[in-house]
Amino acid sequence: MAVETVENFLDIPVDYYVTLNFQAFIDIVNTFDGVDVEASHAFTEQDADGNHNVHQIQAGEQTLSGEEALAYVRHRKSDGDLARGERQTEVIEALIEEATSISNISNYNQVFLDLQNNMNHNFESFENIMSFHNYASAVSDIERYQLEGEGTYVNGVFYFDVDDTSLANSRNMLRGHLELDDENPMNRTETAGENQGND
């Protein structure tokens, strides 16, 4: 359902997915002896077991353990979902930099074990995932684009109401990167299915 939602919302095909559980995240951060972040403000957050106010994150530069890093990227109570997304991007980029460091080559086997034990995906083999290491040198070229819109509450539930122009621009940008033509990929699939049914 998550794949279908992204495909329909952004009008792009999603061929592969990877999901990691909390334990994988914690283990990988700890394998690299922590992750460096720069917190914009201090806050407290629950631990992986749901115990409240366990982790105290201080403002400024610091190195976080796996449990602390999970609390850092989960937090949204004080500044919302968009700020949480920025923290998640910060930590992901920091982990990529750690993973591509020559000094961490000896940790690769442990990282792969952490991933295999705590990951679901639709790749044909784990070797397919390892092939993405070829992109590691492009970490400095990561592009980040934020959808514009406004937060709103409906029946007590928070929603982010995306601006139509921002959504259209995002779709065009992503389809351009993927070198897709103007035809909707979802429509192509539906048409193919209908034709097969008629045959």
Q: What is the pLDDT of residue 80?
A: 86
d(CA 101, CA 104): 5
pLDDT tens for 180-198 read 976 554 544 443 344 444 4
Percentage of the residues of the chain whose pLDDT score is greater than 90: 48
Over residues 116-137, mean pLDDT = 75
- Rounded mean pLDDT of the chain? 84
Confidence (pLDDT) at 191: 37
Nearest CA among 177, 152, 175 for reference residue 162: 152
β-strand pairing of 60-64 with 35-39: antiparallel
Of 72-86, 87-101, 126-140, give the range with the top mean pLDDT. 72-86
Residue 150, pLDDT above cutoff 50: yes
Q: What's the CATH code, domain 18-121?
A: 3.40.630.190
Does pTM top 0.85 for this prediction?
A: no
140 — pLDDT class (breaks 50, 70, 90): low
Tell me the domain boundaries of the chain: 1-15+148-199, 18-121
